[in-house]
Structure 1
Amino acid sequence: MPIHTHPLRTLIDSLRRDTFFLILLAGLAVLAIATRRPLGDYPALVDWPTIGALAGLLALTKGLEMSGAIGWLGHRLVGAMASERKAALSLVAASALLSTVLTNDVALFVVVPLTLGVCRIAALPATRLIVFEALAVNAGSALTPIGNPQNLFIWQQSQVPFAQFVLHMLPLVLPMMAALLALTALAFRSRPIAASAEHRRRQIDRRLLGVSLALYIPFLAAADMHHAGWAVLAVLATFLVLRARVLAQLDWGLLLVFVLMFIDLRLLAGLEPVRDAMHGFGLDQPKHLYLAGIAASQLVSNVPAAIALAEYSRDWRVIAYAVSVGGFGFMAGSLANLIALRMSGDRKAWIGFHAWSVPFLGFAAALGYALLFWLD
């Protein structure tokens, strides 16, 4: 008889192995002593609309993933690849497109395993492909408010309409994607590859697929109207009744990480020496804010950078550009980079990643600067 691990036990085991969570937890302990703020104040430090929107998106994307539809589409795509260059362009473009609606992390969870499978069959350069897919999800996810956690936070904080956010990011994302696709075409050869043999029939849970798709647009509309709390309750209740296993496999640990991130960063921002230092950077000036966002992303990744900068400025347009650009460069710039390199299984993948990502940061930073301050 198979032994089923209790979801709570699985969550605890996962958190015990999550280095980032443990760092945040240790930071909370230190900050609690330093600030002496009552524990009852901590829930007010969390941006609950952002957490609600993230929880709903995680549930809906998990539903799509568990329905089997994404895997089926991926394998259909594989069959159409005829050369190394076309395979690379297809996978990079697919990564970027998926990241606009499934978030950058989820896009990687879909595309990277598929890439590794294709590379085993066709002897493609797996590490280089995964590096370019990491760059692609950083670029593509910048387009929409739901493409990545930092955009989700900025969108909920700014309360701008979905379409307005997209229109603001479009001039940055289109040239970045054009440059990335051109770079992909240069980095991969045109040699023919054998068609993938993995076309085994895949079962699709049509009911789960239908429910996930049916809830997606109403959820986004509700979040756009600032009703993310009620919307996520409706989504979770629907899955609880129809497919409880979706909730059991949801990444609840990621939500806890974001809750801790809000508390830690806002406690830190409340310390007088930190506030004095941050005010000394002149973050009220858009150019300083833009450069600070890129630099902070390189040090702590772009999600914490967005949360921290929001404590000192409400200029969402500049912050959104800064943390989107900041996802490139060093691998710490975005959690998606770390996920992709970890999934590659290549301990030296970080070398190839930086060889492509650091120069791309220079291009993206100059592009964002020009769009914000020269062409505006």
Structure 2
Amino acid sequence: MKRMTTFFTDDLLFTISFVIAIISLYCGAFSLKTIDFKVIFCLFGLMLFVKNVENLGILTFFAEKMIDFSATTRSLIRNIVLLSFFSSMLLTNDVAILTLMPIYLTIIKKFPTMTDKIAGAVLLIVAANLGSSFFPFGNPQNLFLFSYYSLSTAEFFVWASVLLVSSLLFLLLSFLFIKKTTISNQNSFLPIINKKKTFFLSLIGLFILLGVFNIFPYFIIIPIATLILIFYDKKTFSSVDYKLLGTFVFFFIAVGNFSQVEMISTFIKEQFTTNTRTFFGSILVSQMISNVPAAILIAPFTVQSQALFWGVNVGGLGTIIASLANLIGFKLYKKYYPSQSKQFILQFTLINFVFLLFFMLFFIFLL
């Protein structure tokens, strides 16, 4: 009984998503089609890959290099946040966070008195969410909208460019609020990296990305890569955050079931009739069920594709569940600093809603 209690109280987000999924079963007929298995498979493969990379010392190597390029704590946070922003355009927001957050957390372990480490982690997540909006394949909601509305490439990039420029501007302004403290010389030695193992893991990582980017079927590529990684190091298999995967599954189930409720679908159809209402409505829905399910839920009921595009991408800011990538970032931070979960949630919410307010004020003049 104590083990069961600990299991459910240790991760409240997992427990809440589980309860919501159970409640949703009374609202609609459960179907496996509501679960995005690509997200689950790819996330599992990426977590397993990153853990192997971490064990090899590669993250520590990059952490030391990042410190060498940074003279102050502000420049350190700026460098890794901008790296998250631009890399997420090609790697997707999930991959960027899974890759860069452990590097960032490895870095700040060396500076226990650093005051803005939570803010830096939050900005890294914000940057990944915003940067990934520039390409159709950067995040799931854009890929869905690009396909569903049959958008032209030119039309998509015009909308995305507006979001990109405004995002970069707001991020650069946010760095001014990071305390500027000089980083002393660490005089630490770079870890010796096994080149053969690094090359091997690089190939596996590339293999996984082929599945993420739909170049090869994910349901074939990811299991093969997973088996290779487990064979390479069996211990990493037990280190995967299975509760995070479960949280994703429960959210998918809940959204799929709630969307079958006629009252909800009728309400959505009546609300998303203008650009302004679609923009703000999609932001609101994203806060409650995350932006990917929000895009899938709203799209069939509105022709306001531009407003929906901006709304669900901006809507990834705000609550911890507004974007599933937010959950990934939170779980990674909690793993390194379990006692700072409440502080993280508070700062995450504050910073995200400040960004969200700026975007709402900015886009209201463009709708």
TM-score between both structures, scaled by the size of structure 1: 0.74
Residue of structure 1 equivalent to 2:127: 136
Residue of structure 2 equivalent to 1:56: 42
- 2:199 corresponds to 1:210: no
Question: Do the aligned residues in 2 keep the contact of 1:55 with 1:255 (CA within 8 Å)?
Answer: no
In structure 2, how many angstroms separate the alpha carbons of the residues matched to 1:289 and 1:175? 20
Distance 1:163 1:233, change over 3 A: farther
User: Which of 303, 306, 318 is 2:295 aligned to?
Assistant: 306
Amino acid at match of 1:106: L
Residue of structure 2 equivalent to 1:219: 211
Distance 1:177 1:89, change over 3 A: same
1:311-366 CA distances to partner (integer Å, 9 max, x unpaired)?
A: 53476543332122123345553455564496362644455445543332122223
- Output aligned runs, 1:273-284, within 5 Å: 273-281=263-271, 283-284=272-273
Residue of structure 2 equivalent to 1:365: 360
Distance 1:247 1:150, change over 3 A: farther
Amino acid at match of 2:108: L
Amino acid at match of 1:137: A
| RMSD (Å) for aligned C-alpha atoms | 3.8
Residue of structure 1 equivalent to 2:83: 94
Is the deviation greater in 284-293 or in 59-68?
Answer: 59-68
Amino acid at match of 2:253: I
> How many residues matched?
346
User: Which of 252, 260, 267 is 2:257 aligned to?
Assistant: 267
User: Which of 173, 176, 184 is 2:167 aligned to?
Assistant: 176
- Output aligned runs, 1:100-115, within 5 Å: 100=89, 101=91, 103-104=93-94, 105-107=97-99, 109-115=101-107
- 2:53 corresponds to 1:67: yes
In the TM superposition, what is the alpha-carbon distance from 1:172 to its structure 2 partner?
0.4
Amino acid at match of 1:320: F
In structure 1, how many angstroms separate the alpha carbons of the residues matched to 2:258 and 2:86? 36
Distance 1:309 1:249, change over 3 A: farther
1:286-322 CA distances to partner (integer Å, 9 max, x unpaired)?
A: 3322110112223444344334324534765433321
TM-score between both structures, scaled by the size of structure 2: 0.75
Q: State the identity %.
A: 20
Three-state SS of the structure 2 residue aligned to 1:266 is: helix
Gaps of 5+ in 1: 1-12
In structure 2, how many angstroms separate the alpha carbons of the residues matched to 1:247 and 1:178? 41
Residue of structure 2 equivalent to 1:3: none
1:237-267 CA distances to partner (integer Å, 9 max, x unpaired)?
A: 1441464446665555444443433332222
In structure 1, how many angstroms separate the alpha carbons of the residues matched to 2:300 and 2:37? 17
Residue of structure 2 equivalent to 1:323: 312
Distance 1:315 1:99, change over 3 A: same
Residue of structure 2 equivalent to 1:187: 177
In the TM superposition, what is the alpha-carbon distance from 1:279 to its structure 2 partner?
2.5
1:141-161 CA distances to partner (integer Å, 9 max, x unpaired)?
A: 333455455446556766879
Residue of structure 1 equivalent to 2:108: 116
In the TM superposition, what is the alpha-carbon distance from 1:201 to its structure 2 partner?
0.8
Distance 1:102 1:238, change over 3 A: same
Question: Do the aligned residues in 2 keep the contact of 1:153 with 1:307 (CA within 8 Å)?
Answer: yes
Amino acid at match of 1:240: L
Amino acid at match of 2:309: A
